């Protein structure tokens, strides 16, 4: 299967509850991540994480599915047309 470049936007609404789980999941896909930018907003107890990844659509679905199963986490993906 062909690898494609995609973006993933992750919003963590409860940092204390979910941040470690999200970090553990992302660590498992570390070799596929080209860019990771995080913006913690401690005063609002949220964090925004933006990723650029290079992976197959099956891998992207698995990653976004695992992240989406974490309580208080929302995920959006977008695959680039190149």
**Dist. CA 32–CA 6, nearest whole Å:** 11
Q: Is 45 helix (H, G, I), strand (E, B) or coil?
A: coil
What is the rounded average pLDDT of the residues 48-70? 97
Please write the tens of the pLDDT for every residue from 11-53. Answer: 999 988 998 999 999 999 999 999 999 999 989 989 999 999 9
- Write down the pTM of the prediction: 0.91
**pLDDT over 90 at 82, yes or no:** no
Q: Are 11 and 73 in contact (CB under 8 A)?
A: yes
Q: How many independent structural domains does the chain possess?
A: 1
Of 67, 78, 45, 58, the closest CA to residue 3 belongs to 58
Range of the domain at 21: 4-79
CA distance 20 to 4: 27
- Structure token digits, residue 44: 């609002």
Say which CATH number the domain at 21 has.
3.30.70.1150
């Amino acid at each position: 299967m062909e690898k494609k470049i995609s973006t993933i936007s992750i919003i963590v609404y409860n940092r204390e509850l979910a941040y470690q789980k999200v970090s553990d999941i992302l660590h498992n896909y570390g070799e596929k991540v080209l860019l990771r930018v995080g913006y913690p907003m401690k005063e609002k107890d949220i964090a925004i994480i933006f990723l650029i990844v290079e992976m197959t659509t099956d891998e992207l679905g698995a990653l976004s599915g695992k992240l989406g199963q974490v309580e208080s986490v929302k995920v959006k993906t977008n695959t680039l047309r190149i």
